[in-house]
Amino acid sequence: MKVLVIGNGGREHAMVWKLAKSRQVDKVYCCQGNAGISDIAECVDIKLNDFDALLDFVNYEWIDMTIVGPEAPLADGIVDAFEKNGRKIMGPTKAAAQLESSKVFAKDFMRKYNIPTSDYKMFTSYNQAEEYIRLKGAPIVVKADGLAAGKGVIVAETEDDAIEGIKIIMKDKVFGNAGNKVVIEECLVGEEASYMVFTDGETILPMVSSQDHKRIFDNDKGPNTGGMGAYSPAPVVTDELEKVIMDRVMRPTIEGMKREGIKFKGILYAGLMIKDGMPQVLEFNCRLGDPETQPVLMRMESDLMDIALGIADENLKDVELKWKDDETVCVVISSEGYPGKYKKGDVIKGLDKFKGRDDVVVFHAGTSYDGDNVVTSGGRVLGVTGIGKTLKEAKEKTYDAVSKIHFEGMHYRKDISDKAFNR
């Protein structure tokens, strides 16, 4: 079988890496890919939002399955376009992807179906939003309604920070039309965890738990990013809590969408805040998380192609999902200046040390080739991921590997997975 992966980040490299191991897959293509992906798949230079060109390519190459990595094509309706043309694709429709593409839709949906989340209010007026912040005080959370590459959430410690946040979103339009509306919500406290499931709209297969690290600096300081590292499993998600998450969050969401006349197929991701053993939803995503995908897929024993086909054909009930007991840690290496302005084109050294290893994999995110050299081409550059019998072993392998990689101005957090040891 031939499979096409849509996307060019660390998540997509992990997906391509996993699919390349499938007994069913003869060839993997990736649009648009990166330097690391190009070593194991054929990269295709088609814009992610050019659905007609993508469909032409899929038809011409007789692609059997397309798997979508990032959120933007899903929000724009790539699944609708492919299904209309009779092509198999894994992911939610445009209507289902509203759970991620609109914070307002998601919050209203959770309120309607009694899914635990923070109190909130939506605004289209800057002045009214500012007045509400003055009324509620801080800490408080400001969110752009639409997609903002994981950076549209501002956790404000002071009223001034919150007001600066709505100015950035609503007046300066840093996130474009995503900032036409804002959601202002209470600031939840506790420990964060990521919980993802595969679903065909009926059957729900949970993945192993993981924990992302959103802030750029150690000890969760600095601005939010797309994610600076993750590990799996997350000890905060106990067996008891997992049952609560399934019963109070995941199943009600899939069932609620069905009641809205929307069949949710693909991946449902819940970003959770855990306090006193109970979850509250911070956000929904409609695709695999990045960088959670890297440590999660390294623990997967099952064939990812089996799962993709089960979702597309709506027979996920016949698929068995198996996981390794091993634990994993992923550390993201970013360019200097990220998540603000950053330089591109720096040569990355040390990558050759990890070719052929199964216990440490360097997943590429923002990389490209300049001649024979792999160079930086994005804010988040690499996701170094190690696996071990224990979290301690996985962490040691990962950071040892990080120490062998170098490019000018590289930055990474030194505390990924420390929360698991400090609980």
DSSP 33-76: --HHHHTTSEE----TT-HHHHHHHHHHHT--EEEE-SHHHHHH
Decide yes or no: CATH 3.90.550.10 for domain 327-422: no
Please report, for the chain, the start and end positions of each structural domain, with discontinuous segments joined by +. 2-91, 125-180, 191-318, 327-422
pLDDT at 421: 83
2-91: what fold? Rossmann fold (3.40.50)
Residue 235 in this model has a pLDDT that exceeds 90: yes
Residue 210 in this model has a pLDDT that exceeds 80: yes
Helices (H), 260-366: 293-299, 304-312
- The mean pLDDT of 84-99, rounded to a whole number, is 97
Q: How confident is the model at residue 152 (pLDDT cuts 50, 70, 90)?
A: confident
Residue 414 in this model has a pLDDT that exceeds 90: yes
Residue 382 in this model has a pLDDT that exceeds 90: yes
pLDDT at 315: 96
| Contact of 287 with 223, CB cutoff 8 Å | no
Decide yes or no: CATH 3.40.50.1370 for domain 125-180: no
pLDDT at 203: 97
Residue 150 in this model has a pLDDT that exceeds 80: no
- The mean pLDDT of 170-196, rounded to a whole number, is 93
Decide yes or no: CATH 3.30.470.20 for domain 191-318: yes
Residue 423 in this model has a pLDDT that exceeds 90: no
Question: Which of these, 292, 49, 291, lies nearest to 31 by C-alpha position?
Answer: 49
Q: How far is CA 203 from CA 98, 311, 398, in A?
A: 21, 9, 35
- The mean pLDDT of 144-173, rounded to a whole number, is 90
N-term to C-term CA, the chain: 45
pLDDT at 83: 97
| Residue indicated by tokens 């302005």 | 341
How far apart (Å, rounded) are the C-alpha atoms in residues 350 and 333? Answer: 13
pLDDT at 224: 85
pLDDT at 163: 95
Residue 422 in this model has a pLDDT that exceeds 80: no
pLDDT at 188: 93
Let me know if 135 is exposed, middle or buried by CB neighbors in 10 A (0-12, 13-18, 19+): exposed
Residue 7 in this model has a pLDDT that exceeds 70: yes
Residue 148 in this model has a pLDDT that exceeds 90: no
